[in-house]
Structure 1
Amino acid sequence: MSEIAGELARVREAFDKPTLRLLDRKWAPFVLAVFKSAFSRDRRSVQADRLHSQVDAYLADLRSVGSEVPGKNGRALCVQWMNDLWLYRETGENGEEQYSLSSHALEALLLVDSLSRDRALISESRLTTIVDSVRHRATQANPDREARILRLDQEIAERTAERDRLQDGGEIVTATDEQMHEGYANLVDLITQLPSDFKRVEESVAAMHRQIVSDFRGEERPIGEVLDEYLAKTDALMSATAEGRAFEGAFTLLRDDALLQDVKNDLESILDHPFATRLTTAERRTFLGTVGLIRKGIDDVLTQRNGLTTT
């Protein structure tokens, strides 16, 4: 296969995924507007009948101002979006059916949001993030003991010199408003990707749940033998998929309460800088809610995993 033919095949495969299928449809602006209006960071799930009624209300509202909208009613549209893998329907803790956005819908919303707001441009903050990450990974990748010690010695020397300078009364240089705003935009770019990342892990676990139950029902071997095999599968659940392995790696950090408290304190310190007067109340609240977003994402994944273990 030629290079261009290979690239065309990869692009076609990407366009066949639910995220790009959503963006490529005639009614994409309407669907995404509904998702943005009905769901939020604080409202991740909506009771099924309520969402059907909300969509009906959105349709009527848009028709009244002359906007072209789909011909189906709210319930039919929600079912269609669920079949298109943009909505996920499950039974909530109260026993009622509820909808939540799939990772594909969250990714599409993330892309639209990034195109409709001022994105973090190439800046000192963004380059520093890249350089620090490259340095950290290079240190981890290098098996040479002496090289690691040398790099640590360099970092210790730099930090010691800065500490001594400050202790001797050296000038404290604070970041300018523009530098802080660039850094804030860079952080927001990273933070807004978290919901879809967590959702992909949830969906990975849920898909495995359905597959295990389906396979279990189709088994004809002795029940003890089957149970042993499926219990082994659930034990290796998080290492069986790329999403699960990534989550397990991050979970070591995410479950560190002291680290998350430090993150919360650092977020507050960032907003204490004068640049933050340019932010809206909603932007400040969302930024400060980052730790809560992380905790909720962890809880949702663990709830999905515990459901499979219970089954």
Structure 2
Amino acid sequence: MSNTRAEAAYQRSVAAFRNPTLDLLHGRHAPFVVAMLSIVFTPDRPAVAVADAHAEIGEALDELRAAGYDDDRRLPAGTAREICRHWVRVGWLAPQIEHDVEVYRLTAHAVGALDIAGRTAGGRSRVSRSRVRTLLDAVDRLSRDAETDPEQRIAMLLAEREALDAEIARLRDDEAEPIDDEQLFEEAENVLHLARELPADFSRVAESIKAMQRDVVADLRRDVRPTGEILREYLQRGRHVMQATPEGRAFEGALRLIGDPEHIDRLTDQLRTLLTQPFSRLMAPEQRADLDAIGRQVQQGVQEVLTAQRRASQVITAQVRTHDPVRDRQVDELLRGVMAGLQAWMQHSRPGDRVEPLHTFPVADIGHLRQSLSDLNPPGAPAPLPAREDVEFVDADTRAWGGPHYAELEEYVATLGDHFDLATAFEGADDDTRRPVDLLGLLEIAHRNGMTETDEISVAEARRPDGTYRRFAFGAVTARTVKELPHD
């Protein structure tokens, strides 16, 4: 059965009030929450050390209780630490590590709630000329950007240029009337209205990147594909983390306008100049402070998003590099086994039952260990190596790529007389014993029997089993064919 209009509207309202923003404003202690968050977190202080936040909120809580504001339970119970931990759980504060210090930051929901409360406390919103002009300018720009006909776009741009030329002509002829302070004040209020949305927007972008990071890490832990395929995909996502969310893609477009430090410097200079104009006397002190802080808010918001992007890229890259599907599966199986054992134990356990902890891991039965280290001899001699003729190779090609043919080389050396030149002897050997490793074997035999090196350079050409050749240059060596006996 389909829902009625009233049911659908009520369900949408219920879903909206589950949002942490409305939950903050709708709660019993909402005035206290808004007051504490607004005095602890300011545009110049977006991140507060956890210990400092607990101390400041605890001091304010004591002052309010001493002033009698807790007579009708309008203040939350518990310590400042417990209150802040509760705000973290419900999504109003976000703990982070910055410069090795744990800090609190307002979430986008908390920033939005403070904005709503601030606008409500600041009086009614007026339908001013500035606000309507902002709407019309936005619609005109949208219409121009959405136009696909080049001729129509050219006509729009020409009309805009004609209006600008007419304005320039009036200024040159001193016919333009100065804008009164009341209208400039209305435009300043519209600027403040637009700027109030920026902190929540920046926080929302940063939180969307962090949520994407958590999703990627969770997906990575569940991924059982080959490691090489995982590396390629997730490293790509780490490098392009900003494009992974709609908020991030929208922020990249805005970053082209505000990301340049020169743009932020120009914005700051313009705001300071505005505060020196006569119309600024109509603004309340809070409005003047908010107008002066817009440049810093933009800079801090950009930095917050870029920091979240950098951290997400670093976390994803580190997770990918240390990813071990086999180990992760073993950990998952271990945790599932623990949960299954806990569920089985809960079925027959009583409230007072205890689980004995595992103090040490079980010891494997490895048989008899040596109990005395005084005898360094091994308990038994190793098995003798097999005779050479008893060794079987997989095939001739495997043996051809093996080590030197010592037996064949020694038989060959015995036919060379009392002395021989190493390079000449190697050139005269059979093809099977003229491999690069056989040159090393021949050098080893020469060193064993006694050899003499000279300053001359010898060159020998070795033949690999695949028929390719390689030339080696070394100091000339003259060797004996029989091992030289030591002198008395």
- Whether TM-score is above 0.5 comes out as yes
Larger deviation: 119-128 or 179-188?
119-128
Residue type of the alignment partner of 2:120: L
Residue type of the alignment partner of 1:242: P
Paired position in structure 2 for 1:59: 61
SS in 2 for 1:198: helix
Distance 2:272 2:125 in 1: 20
Paired position in structure 2 for 1:183: 187
1:162-191 deviation line (CA, Å, top 9, x unaligned): 212322x22332221211111111110111
Paired position in structure 2 for 1:246: 250
Instruction: Kindly tell me the number of residue pairs found equivalent between the two proteins.
Output: 309
SS in 1 for 2:27: coil
- The correspondence of residues 252-263 of structure 1 with structure 2, limited to 5 A, is 252-263=256-267
Query: In the alignment, which of 302, 306, 311 is matched to residue 310 of structure 2?
Result: 306
Distance 1:2 1:235 in 2: 48
Verify: 1:90 aligned to 2:96, yes or no: yes
How far 1:135 sits from its partner (Å)? 0.3
Paired position in structure 1 for 2:299: 295
Higher relative contact order (CA 8 A, sep 6+): 1
- C-alpha contact 1:198 1:298 (8 A) present in aligned 2: yes
Distance 1:29 1:289 in 2: 24
Distance 1:127 1:278 in 2: 21
Query: In the alignment, which of 134, 147, 154 is matched to residue 139 of structure 2?
Result: 134
- C-alpha contact 2:48 2:105 (8 A) present in aligned 1: yes
How far 1:15 sits from its partner (Å)? 0.7
Verify: 1:44 aligned to 2:41, yes or no: no
- The correspondence of residues 261-300 of structure 1 with structure 2, limited to 5 A, is 261-280=265-284, 283-300=287-304
SS in 2 for 1:46: strand
Which 4+ stretches in 1 moved above 4 angstroms?
none
How far 1:161 sits from its partner (Å)? 1.8
- C-alpha contact 1:119 1:185 (8 A) present in aligned 2: no
- The correspondence of residues 185-204 of structure 1 with structure 2, limited to 5 A, is 185-204=189-208
SS in 1 for 2:94: strand
1:146-169 deviation line (CA, Å, top 9, x unaligned): 1111111111111112212322x2
1:32-88 deviation line (CA, Å, top 9, x unaligned): 111112111111111112212222212211110111222211111111100000000
Larger deviation: 136-145 or 227-236?
227-236
Distance 1:263 1:96, change over 3 A: closer
Residue type of the alignment partner of 1:91: I
Paired position in structure 1 for 2:150: 145
Paired position in structure 2 for 1:80: 86
How far 1:138 sits from its partner (Å)? 0.3
Higher-Rg member (1/2): 2
Distance 1:192 1:165 in 2: 35
How far 1:120 sits from its partner (Å)? 4.1
Distance 1:260 1:119 in 2: 30
Distance 1:121 1:62, change over 3 A: same
SS in 2 for 1:55: helix
Verify: 1:117 aligned to 2:119, yes or no: no
Q: Which runs of 5+ in 2 are unaligned?
A: 316-488
- C-alpha contact 2:242 2:248 (8 A) present in aligned 1: yes
Distance 2:169 2:121 in 1: 46
SS in 2 for 1:70: coil
- C-alpha contact 2:192 2:290 (8 A) present in aligned 1: no
SS in 2 for 1:272: coil
Supply the RMSD in Å over aligned alpha carbons: 1.7
**What TM-score comes out, normalization by structure 2 length?**
0.61
1:231-274 deviation line (CA, Å, top 9, x unaligned): 22224422322211221121111124444344334323432331
Larger deviation: 276-285 or 150-159?
276-285
Query: In the alignment, which of 221, 225, 229 is matched to residue 225 of structure 1?
Result: 229
How far 1:282 sits from its partner (Å)? 5.2
Larger deviation: 239-248 or 19-28?
239-248
Distance 1:285 1:189 in 2: 14
Verify: 1:28 aligned to 2:30, yes or no: yes
Residue type of the alignment partner of 1:30: F
Q: Which runs of 5+ in 1 are unaligned?
A: none
Distance 2:203 2:259 in 1: 18
Verify: 1:158 aligned to 2:163, yes or no: yes
**Greater fraction helix:** 1
Distance 2:249 2:101 in 1: 32
Distance 1:119 1:90 in 2: 36
Percent identity of equivalent pairs: 34
1:94-143 deviation line (CA, Å, top 9, x unaligned): x1211111110110000000001135410111111011110011000110
